[in-house]
Structure 1
Amino acid sequence: MSRPHNAWLLPVSVVAALLLGLLPLPGWMQPFRPYWLALVLVYWLIETPDRAGIGFAFIVGVAADLAFGTLLGEQALRLTVMAFIVQRFRAQLRFFPLSQQALAVAGLLLNDRVVGAAVHMALGEPQLPASFWWSPLVGMLLWAPVYLLLDRLRMGGRG
């Protein structure tokens, strides 16, 4: 039985995640900004691995580096590492209930922060303040709504 899929949804969701990442926030809210691009990428890696993989994560990461003005290749590296981990454990992640998936996503987002901190440390760049470690928690809390929204759109509104 083939599932309906909307070819436009993958690129539109990635662009929307990039735009959400560019959305200006007050200074006090910056540490709580979820890594929208990672959440969207993890969804696509779990649900349609034939359309999203490590190469796709790298390309999206380079686009994010250019859009956000970060160190070229930093987000590409972070998203590639994340994509590798998701692909390695995709079979298990797919069948976890959303609450367990959210915990796994929190681990992925925490690992992303560690990789980013390691890159900054290796290059002698300033580290993010300790408050920026709250972002993975916010991403974990947003996983279920993001997953359900993208799944509903991907399935064409069918339950």
Structure 2
Amino acid sequence: MFSHNGIIIVFTLLIALMASIMPMPLSVDAFRPDWVLIVLVYWCLALPNKINIITAWFMGFILDVLLGSVLGVHAAAMALSVYIVVVNFQKIRNFSVWQQALIIGVLAALYHLLVFWLQRFLTDAVFLTSYLYPVITSVILWPWVFLLLRRVRRHFKIK
């Protein structure tokens, strides 16, 4: 059974999943941030011993099911992106929030390029520059998501 801390973390990840599939107007849907990646990166930085690559793979697999994509595409891309964070979490923690936002941008770009590459390998996906629009919104939203999740972590004393 999950502890009190585990329930809060799972709840934030479920909210990120819901935000990832929530209907949006077509004009702004291309700019949908990578909610699951952002939340996973936060928890990997805050609690690297609890939230890790296995969690990222599992969340990516759920995202594959929810988005109807080829199984394993988002899971592999999410796991590789989070692996980079887990290996370098001590360095990334010491950066300012704005520097971390730039790292989030690089990770989000890597994530989207990996998803594209895997989909291109498995299907006949075509690359469009609009495919990288979520990178911009993920960078912009990182400081606010970081501050919100840090407040949640401190309020519920998650360790």
Change (3 A) 1:128 1:28: farther
Offset of residue 124 of structure 1 = 3.1
Partner of 1:14: 13
Change (3 A) 1:100 1:146: same
Q: For 1:60-139, list aligned pairs within 5 A.
A: 60-139=59-138
SS in 2 for 1:8: helix
Offset of residue 17 of structure 1 = 0.4
Identity across matched positions, percent: 28
Offset of residue 7 of structure 1 = 3.0
Deviation track 1:17-42 (CA, whole Å, cap 9, x = no partner) reads: 00001110111212100010000000
Offset of residue 151 of structure 1 = 0.5
> C-alpha separation between the residues in 2 aligned to 1:97 and 1:143?
12
Amino acid at match of 1:78: A
Amino acid at match of 1:153: V
> C-alpha separation between the residues in 2 aligned to 1:123 and 1:114?
14
Which piece of structure 1 moves more, 96-105 or 27-36? Answer: 27-36
Contact 2:116–2:125 under 8 Å retained in 1: no
Q: CA RMSD in A?
A: 1.5
Partner of 2:149: 150
TM-score using structure 2 length: 0.91
Q: Give the gaps of 5 or more residues in structure 1.
A: none
Deviation track 1:78-131 (CA, whole Å, cap 9, x = no partner) reads: 110011110121111011010000000000001111111111221233235321
> C-alpha separation between the residues in 2 aligned to 1:55 and 1:6?
18
> C-alpha separation between the residues in 2 aligned to 1:143 and 1:26?
22
> C-alpha separation between the residues in 2 aligned to 1:28 and 1:94?
35
Contact 2:5–2:156 under 8 Å retained in 1: no
Contact 2:70–2:119 under 8 Å retained in 1: no
Which piece of structure 1 moves more, 116-125 or 92-101? Answer: 116-125
Partner of 2:140: 141
> C-alpha separation between the residues in 2 aligned to 1:113 and 1:127?
13
Residues matched between the structures, number: 154
Deviation track 1:131-154 (CA, whole Å, cap 9, x = no partner) reads: 121110110000000010011001
> C-alpha separation between the residues in 2 aligned to 1:157 and 1:80?
27
> C-alpha separation between the residues in 2 aligned to 1:12 and 1:128?
34
Q: Give the gaps of 5 or more residues in structure 2.
A: none
Change (3 A) 1:57 1:88: same
Amino acid at match of 1:123: L
